[in-house]
Amino acid sequence: MKGELDMPERSAICREIDADLSALIDAELAPEREAEMRAHLDDCDRCAQRLQDLCNVDLALADLAAPMVAADLGQRLAARIASDSGERSVPVPDAASPKRSRTVTPRQPRRSLRRRLMPVAVVATAVLLAIVVANRQSSEVDPDPLQLARTLRSMNPAATLPEAATPGVNFGSLPDEDLAVLFEFDTVEDLDVIANLELLEQFVAMEALEG
């Protein structure tokens, strides 16, 4: 019964539940803790609403328009690197040949690598989100946010929730990179494979040319 706990005790329990809601969605809890969470969510409207709010964020991401990235971006970066490399390759004059005056064109100060990599990080995130949205739009999304949260357990075949028997979204088919961007933005840099690595390497090469 919802009236069995007084407000201070219920507030303390709700704080603990709230701290573990993300772990519940990501299927990271031990079975015993998950059972405790599910029992509390069935009894507490406040925490159930909080879980629904978190799941609504996921549904909102599914409605995002897929961002577009220029198809020739890699080619333009490669051309820029080749151009900068050519500027660096200045022939050494022969000591016996007469000196000739030449006009030196001052080059504009270049931005730091960090400032230049920032838009690339945005592009990389946009590309990954586009992949996620494209994959997820190909499936029917369950309109019930709470059902969607429980469906996320299908990402862990060893501990599938009963509610995930007919998932509305096949999260198990999505690459780790896509799931990291969608649910854990701070874990992307920990993945072994990073999307758009070639573009990032090209920017690093440009920085090396600037020496």
2-51 pLDDT per residue, tens: 444 555 566 888 999 999 988 888 788 899 999 999 999 998 999 999 88
Q: Measured between alpha carbons, how far is 179 from 133 in angstroms, rounded to an integer? A: 11
Same domain for 80 and 161, yes or no, is yes
Is residue 96 included in any domain, yes or no? no
Is residue 135 included in any domain, yes or no? yes
Number of domains in the chain: 2
- What count of Cα atoms within 13 Å lies in the side-chain half-sphere of residue 3? 0
Same domain for 42 and 115, yes or no, is no
Asked whether the predicted pLDDT for residue 61 surpasses 60, the reply is: yes
Same domain for 118 and 47, yes or no, is no
Asked whether the predicted pLDDT for residue 163 surpasses 80, the reply is: no
Same domain for 82 and 185, yes or no, is yes
**pLDDT at residue 25, rounded to an integer:** 81
Tokens of 77: 């970066």
Buried b / exposed e over 114-135, threshold 16 CB at 10 Å, is eeebeebeebbbbbbbbbbbeb
Same domain for 169 and 126, yes or no, is yes
**pLDDT at residue 161, rounded to an integer:** 38
* Strand stretches in 71-170, DSSP E: none
Same domain for 132 and 50, yes or no, is no
71-130 pLDDT per residue, tens: 776 777 777 777 766 655 545 455 555 555 444 444 444 444 445 555 555 555 555 555
| Domain enclosing residue 128, as ranges | 73-86+110-210
**pLDDT at residue 112, rounded to an integer:** 46
